[in-house]
């Protein structure tokens, strides 16, 4: 998804607003925990408060156009920077361990949704273009996948809008519900919960938020690591699926369709892996015996805090940008398809995890 601005001054107000929402959400979290429940940790995570607060304020008041530029910047770039910083938490062995388990699951989920959508459109009257957009948005990476796929199948603006609204609605619902469902269903098993969140929630931002909610509420940071790796693996499948969708939609005649692997590849995945490399090289260079070990550990802690702050800012920006009145105006048939697709990808994920539970590392 492209984003353009003329100078840094244009984005500062919106970024500042997102930061204010982040800090205010943390303040509310502290008040709920200490003043109401008398505990260290609130039953409602900071990220969840930021999202709900953003939705409430964004629909009660119309943000100024100048603010929206910075909020869009936060959703697109601050979010990706936060995800890149999450890489500082991982080792190479973690990446290989989580990735080897996640790749087959991702493939099963993608194939399951594609087959289901193909069967559903025979019963529910929606355009084939919209069905392709909902399918790739549900199975790969939400609105980014929809926007990247639309040109290669010549989708109309209304079809794109419907598909994105679809993904936004069910993705947000899953983001808010699945962390608590997964905690109950998987009994706080980090690998299983992370795999489920990483495959059953649509957007990268939604997966990161769900992982943070789980970490903050159930004190299991490894879940966020697994969910992030799983989701980034899903994102890289864009490189394969967009040409495939062009082929399927155009009956194999794709020579007139213009798309570029360079334009659709999620480059922040490379940044995430680069941060893993930085972490592992640093651990080798700055051992306990080294005088710089303390500085290195503090650097890691600061990046972890920044990752959490950036992701919370991004989710506040997402909340502010959600227009509930627009969702109401959409027809119900695409949402039926989207709901069934969203439930299906979750069920496939559960079945896969349950089937291979004894073999998971």
326-358 confidence digits (pLDDT tens): 666 666 777 888 888 899 999 999 999 988 876
Q: Determine the length of the chain.
A: 361
pLDDT tens, residue by residue, 138-193: 888 887 788 778 877 888 877 887 888 888 889 889 999 999 999 999 998 999 99
Pair of tokens at residue 168: 């936004």
| Average pLDDT of the residues of the chain | 84
Is residue 121 within 8 Å of residue 337, measured between CB atoms? yes
Least confident of 115-119, 213-217, 276-280: 115-119
Confidence of residue 256 (pLDDT cuts 50, 70, 90): low
- Domain spans of the chain? 90-309+323-359
Identify the residue whose tokens are 């910083």: 85
Specify the higher pLDDT residue, 276 or 39.
Answer: 276
- Residue pointed to by tokens 């997964």: 182
Contacts of 305 (CB under 8 A, 6+ apart): none
Task: Provide the 3-class DSSP secondary structure of residue 156.
Answer: coil
pTM over the 0.75 mark? yes
Q: Which residues contact 239 (CB under 8 A, 6 or more apart)?
A: 261, 264, 265
CA 214, 219, 225, 230 torsion-angle sign:
negative
Residue 254: what pLDDT? Answer: 44
Where does the pLDDT of residue 252 fall: very low under 50, low under 70, confident under 90, or very high at 90 and above?
Answer: very low
> What pLDDT, on a 0 to 100 scale, did the predictor assign at position 257?
54
User: So what's the pLDDT on residue 154?
Assistant: 80
Residue 158, SS3 per DSSP = helix
Quote the pLDDT of residue 338. 86
Can you tell me which residue has the tokens 């864009």?
Answer: 238
- Cα distances from 36 to residues 20, 39, 41, 44, 360, in angstroms, run 23, 8, 11, 12, 40
For Cα atoms 10, 270, 204, give the angle at the middle one, nearest 5 degrees. Answer: 65
């Amino acid at each position: 998804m492209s984003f353009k601005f003329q100078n840094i001054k244009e984005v500062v107000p919106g970024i500042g607003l997102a930061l204010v929402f982040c800090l205010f959400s943390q303040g509310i979290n502290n008040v709920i925990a200490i003043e109401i429940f008398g505990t260290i940790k609130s039953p409602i995570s900071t990220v969840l408060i930021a999202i709900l607060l953003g939705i409430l304020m964004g629909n009660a008041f119309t943000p100024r156009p100048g603010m929206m530029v910075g909020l869009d910047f936060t959703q697109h770039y601050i979010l990706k920077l936060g995800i890149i910083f999450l890489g500082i938490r991982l080792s190479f062995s973690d990446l290989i361990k989580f990735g080897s388990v996640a790749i087959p699951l991702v493939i099963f989920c993608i194939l399951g949704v594609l087959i289901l959508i193909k069967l559903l459109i025979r019963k529910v009257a929606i355009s084939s273009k919209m069905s392709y957009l909902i399918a790739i948005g549900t199975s790969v990476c939400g609105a980014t996948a929809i926007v990247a796929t639309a040109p290669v199948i010549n989708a109309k603006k209304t079809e794109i809008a419907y598909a994105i609204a679809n993904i936004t609605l069910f993705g947000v619902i899953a983001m808010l519900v699945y962390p608590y469902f997964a905690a109950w269903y998987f009994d706080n098993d980090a690998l299983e919960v992370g795999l489920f969140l990483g495959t059953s929630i649509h957007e990268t931002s939604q997966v990161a938020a769900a992982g943070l909610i789980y970490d903050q509420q159930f004190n299991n940071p490894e879940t966020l690591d697994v969910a992030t790796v799983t989701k980034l693996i899903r994102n890289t499948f864009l490189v394969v699926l967009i040409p495939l969708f062009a082929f399927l939609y155009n009956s194999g005649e794709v020579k007139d369709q213009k798309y570029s692997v360079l334009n659709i590849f999620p480059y922040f995945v490379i940044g995430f892996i680069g941060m893993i490399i930085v972490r592992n090289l640093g651990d080798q260079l700055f051992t306990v015996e080294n005088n710089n070990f303390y500085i290195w550990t503090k650097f890691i802690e600061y990046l972890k805090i920044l990752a959490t702050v950036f992701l919370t800012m991004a989710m506040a920006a997402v909340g502010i940008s959600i227009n509930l009145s627009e969702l109401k105006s959409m027809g119900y048939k695409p949402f039926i398809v989207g709901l069934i697709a969203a439930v299906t990808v979750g069920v496939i994920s559960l079945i896969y995890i349950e089937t291979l539970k004894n073999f998971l590392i």
